[in-house]
Structure 1
Amino acid sequence: MPWHDSSGAPINAKWRATWSKLFFYARGGAPVRNMIYGIHLVYSRGIKRVIIVESETDAMYLWSNGYPAIAVGGSTFTDSQAEMLRMSPAQEIVIGTDNDAAGEKLREEVAAKMRGYCELYDVRWPEGAKDANDVRDEVALRRTVKAAMRRNIFTSARNIVSTHIVI
């Protein structure tokens, strides 16, 4: 799985072992802990709404179903990742983290760091599904993502209209 910086330059590659769930990164590649998998597509395509998930495979699965998605590559959302996302064209972030304790922690981190910068929505994968990859029925996946768009968890500062009262 190739990792790119926001301009599209390759920075690293990640492989998964065929015999286990072990992952390997390219020797000499840049660390990815402060990068976002797929962010170069958000920048280059001017994507306004993107789903943020934990793993690259979840992001690729969502893309294969027509949903632009990015991944943090783990269960933390760093300040560097938040700044990279703030600088992107994305105006709506759909938080689609895993249905477990680490995913809930990540959901809260993303919400806290992105609050006020964009619209935030909350995807809750159906019961029995740990993450996006576990929602194998395309109709169920579409229904789940569509339902999330009705759950705006925070309003961005750019959409708040102030009212001035003149006395």
Structure 2
Amino acid sequence: MAEIKIGHHSIDVDIRAELERYNWTRPRWSGDKLIAASPFRYDQTPSFFVRLEPYGDYPAGTWSDSGAYDEEWRSGNFVKLLAFLRQETYEETEEYLLGEYGWQYASGDDNVKLFNLSLRVQRNRQPLNQNVLTDYVENYEYLKSRGISERVQRQMGVLYCPQQRAAVIPWRLANKRLANVKFRTVYGKIFWYYKGAQPIRELVYGLEFAQPTTVICEAEVDAMSWMEAGYAAIAVGGASFGEAKRDLILRTPIEELIIATDNDKAGGKLRAEIEAAMRGHVRLRHAYVCGGVSEEKQGGAKDANRALELYGVDSLRKAAEQSDVVSNISVKLRIRGG
């Protein structure tokens, strides 16, 4: 555990455990550092590092990317890195860390210390004005290069920002009102969301096209990959699944969810969270893209989009056809005393 600062709070965080939930390219772990290929770029060389422990004036969690395309992403703190990995906003990751580690246990005197954390007041969320998309243009080449047809991109309202060289991916409510917008660079893996919009933790991507049987996955491009294979699909947009997302799904026509998260530790955690939250509400099946084999092994793929790129739509259809049914029956044993 290493101390990091979030606002006015200093908390102990298991930085290595948080990072180990994600697949890294050519990782080298030591006691105080992770060296790997950059997660922000299409990189195959170990040009990125994260401090697992404090080093001089640099706190634990400090990272640096020597080959960064953008100065904003050349270095930063642990919250910024984890927000990228979790595919959520900086503020949402702060809330996650405070919720996960915002307590201390002192084993020496059995004292438990709880931080007096300030709670955010829930605002009455307002949809975005559709006019925020008027500055962007129709250009479908980037996602076409990743196997997503113009037909699917048009259905989901994908646009392009020439100034930022970024794909523009609208997030909508089930009634098709605009709730948020994700921007994803076409030259690397950096993304951001429309400032001041509804948090991703309160949204589910693709709900406006939900059907009685729908695939649920992590990222928008994975959902669009399943659409290419002929399935209705929604995306969580990150590595966690809470009550807000569950309740949104329960208000849709969905009767059966095919859970198809990424083939990594974070994906496994998300898969378990979705099953726990949705079990008993809808029918559930587990689909494993490429048999659950990650890309490091022959015939594997990290996620639905990578499987689409490498093996085509049949790989996704096969995963759905071979999906495992989850029993909704829960048995409680009652022990009778003598």
Q: TM-score range by the shorter chain?
A: 0.7 to 0.9
Change (3 A) 1:156 1:64: farther
Show the counterpart of 1:26: 194
Identity %: 36
AA aligned to 1:155 is: N
AA aligned to 2:318 is: R
Match 1:141 to one of 298, 310, 316? 316
- TM-superposed CA distance for 1:28, in Å, is 3.3
Matched, 1:154 2:327: yes
Change (3 A) 1:92 1:155: same
Secondary structure of 2:192 counterpart: strand
Secondary structure of 2:226 counterpart: helix
- TM-superposed CA distance for 1:23, in Å, is 0.6
Show the counterpart of 1:111: 275
Secondary structure of 2:234 counterpart: strand
For residues 19 and 34 of structure 1, what CA distance do their matches in structure 2 show?
29
Show the counterpart of 1:92: 256
What is the TM-score with the length of structure 2 in the denominator? Answer: 0.43
Show the counterpart of 1:8: 176
What is the TM-score with the length of structure 1 in the denominator? Answer: 0.85
Secondary structure of 2:183 counterpart: strand
- TM-superposed CA distance for 1:18, in Å, is 2.4
Show the counterpart of 2:51: none
Show the counterpart of 1:59: 223
Q: Which has the larger radius of gyration?
A: 2
Show the counterpart of 1:165: none
For residues 248 and 315 of structure 2, what CA distance do their matches in structure 1 show?
31
Contact kept in structure 1, 2:172 and 2:207, CA below 8 Å: yes
Match 2:304 to one of 119, 123, 132? 132
- TM-superposed CA distance for 1:57, in Å, is 0.4
Contact kept in structure 2, 1:115 and 1:156, CA below 8 Å: no
Contact kept in structure 2, 1:119 and 1:156, CA below 8 Å: no
Show the counterpart of 2:209: 41
For residues 273 and 180 of structure 2, what CA distance do their matches in structure 1 show?
25
Where does structure 1 lack aligned partners over 5 or more consecutive residues?
A: 158-167
- TM-superposed CA distance for 1:29, in Å, is 2.2
Contact kept in structure 2, 1:59 and 1:70, CA below 8 Å: yes
Structure 1, residues 115-152: CA drift from partner, whole Å, max 9, x if none?
1001100011113111111223222221111111xx11
Show the counterpart of 1:121: 285
Show the counterpart of 2:56: none
For residues 267 and 301 of structure 2, what CA distance do their matches in structure 1 show?
13
Contact kept in structure 2, 1:92 and 1:119, CA below 8 Å: yes
**Runs of 4 or more above 6 Å deviation:** none
Answer 1 or 2: higher relative contact order, Cα 8 Å, separation at least 6. 1
- Provide the alpha-carbon RMSD of the alignment: 1.5
